[in-house]
Amino acid sequence: MSGTARGWSLAAGLTVAGAVAVWLATASLNNYLLTLIAFAGINVILAVSLTLANGLTGLFSLGHPAFMMVGGYVAAILTFPASRKGFMLPDLPDWLAAQQWPLLPALLAGGAAAGIAAVIVGFPVLRLRGHYLAVATLGLIFILRAVVNNLDGYTRGALGLSGIPRLTDLWWVYGWAVATIFVCWRVKQSSLGRTMMAMRENEMAAACMGVPLARTRLLAFAIGAILAGIAGGLWAHLVTNLTPTSLGVFLAFQIVVMIVLGGQGSITGAAVAALGLSAIANLLRPVEQTTGLYGLTQIVVALVLIGVLIFRSQGLFGSREPAFLQGKAVPSLPERQPATPDNTDPQRGST
């Protein structure tokens, strides 16, 4: 019990420390750097949320950018200035064209839409395993791209939505990153998370222990998709324009690389790897520009990935969280008793 209390106070302490860091950053850094940090934060949301499906449940999904697209477009259409919606998005029904929402409800609506999309898509797609699932979720990105291209009355098609209000700042990103980590952490530490890991370890045994496979799989997929949808909304309101090609296969691989580097199923690992890879990319960008060696970032990231796979194939943290963050006392038997079940057993009396 004291262990849990320690865990909570540690979590609260880290959250406050992060908030102080965000406050210091917004007070001292220029806009360019703040934007880079915000991107890193969005990467944290993406990597951590994908951990539920890819790390805990053992589904190999590449579909995160598709759910970001759903969330991004829905949120952007909702926050778009009503005065310009009429001629830019002519097919929008009048009741929708008249709306101009603040960021929070727009993000939530985007997340909900992404979650619904995940449930609809998940029913057929989650019957697949391993590489087949990876390819099917990859296909999702292209299907969505085609849908956005063809619904040009709602999305401006290939032109993309531009002039999205720049509502996302570092505080928004930080808040959602904390929320994402909290949700995923709680799921992982709960018995539901344990059944997800059980599925990853052995599906048949999990089913025989009463785990409803299809429902659990869909749940992991959908929670991840909701958070990805919200991340997509944040992304759209940070970049201020969204085209069908903004969120694609390259991003999907980047997120997966973060998870593999961090360790499959480790939330700490996903967050650390997301920050680390974002830092590498941003530190190398000036080097690329001065030396003219464009693509250096990808090569370095690929080398890091190969190195980790060779020397530490389970990733930085394996499937675990660092012990000091766990804050969980190791449970023990109250006292040594003779090994006989007591009469509180639910079997008793009913037969």
Partner 1 sequence: MPPAESVPLLAVDGLTKRFGGVVALSGYAIRVAAGELIGLIGPNGAGKTTVLNLLTGVTRPSEGRIVFRGEDITGQRADRFTARGIARTFQNIRLFRDLTVLDNVTAALHLRHGPALASAVLALPAARRAERRMAARGLELLDLFALADRAQARARDLPYGEQRKVEIARALATEPRLLLLDEPAAGMNPAETRHLMDVIRAVHDALSLTILVVEHDMSLIMGLCGRVQVINRGEVLADGAPAQVQADPAVIEAYLGTRRARAGA
| Residues near partner 1, by CB under 8 A | 4, 183, 186-187, 190-192, 194-195, 197-198, 201-202, 204-213, 219, 319, 330-334, 337, 339-341, 345-348, 351
Q: Say which DSSP state 329 is in.
A: P
Q: How far is the CB of 64 from partner 1 (least distance, A)?
A: 20
Rounded distance between C-alpha atoms, residue 94 and residue 19, angstroms: 41
Q: In terms of CB distance, is 292 or 334 closer to partner 1?
A: 334
- Are 136 and 125 a contacting pair, CB within 8 Å? yes
Query: What distance separates the 2 farthest-apart alpha carbons in the chain?
Result: 79
d(CA 206, CA 129): 16
Distance CA 69, CA 232 (A): 6
Q: Which is nearer to partner 1, 55 or 72 (CB)?
A: 55
Question: Smallest distance from the beta carbon of 109 to partner 1, in angstroms?
Answer: 20
Burial zone of 100 (CB within 10 Å; 0-12 exposed, 13-18 middle, 19+ buried)? middle
Whose Cβ is closer to partner 1: residue 223's or residue 256's? 223
Is-contact 162 240, C-beta < 8 A? yes
| C-beta of residue 66 within 8 angstroms of C-beta of residue 141 | yes
User: 329 φ, ψ to 5°?
Assistant: -65, 140
Q: Of 200 and 237, which has the nearer Cβ to partner 1? A: 200
Paired tokens of 26: 């917004």
| Beta carbon of residue 68, minimum distance to partner 1 (angstroms, whole number) | 22
Could you tell me the smallest distance in angstroms from the CB atom of residue 186 to partner 1?
Answer: 5
CB of 346 to partner 1, least distance (A): 6
| Nearer to partner 1 (CB atom), residue 310 or residue 339 | 339
d(CA 212, CA 329): 29
Smallest separation, CB 145 to partner 1 (Å) = 32
Q: How many residues does the chain have?
A: 351
Residue whose CB is less far from partner 1, 27 or 330: 330
Toward partner 1, which CB reaches closer, 146 or 205?
A: 205
Q: How far apart are the first and last CA of the chain?
A: 36
| Whether the Cβ atoms of residue 260 and residue 61 lie closer than 8 Å to each other | no
CB of residue 253 vs partner 1: minimum separation in angstroms? 25
For partner 1, the closer of residues 94 and 345 by Cβ is 345
Residue closer to partner 1 by CB (options 131, 336) is 336
Q: Which helix (H) or strand (E) holds 253?
A: helix 249-262
Rounded Cα distance, 111 and 232, in Å: 8
Half-sphere exposure of 93 (CA within 13 A, CB side): 2
Q: How far is the CB of 265 from partner 1 (least distance, A)?
A: 9
Shortest distance, CB of residue 81 to partner 1, whole angstroms?
Answer: 35
Closest CA to 7 of 350, 327, 345: 327
Cβ proximity of 297 and 284 under 8 Å: yes
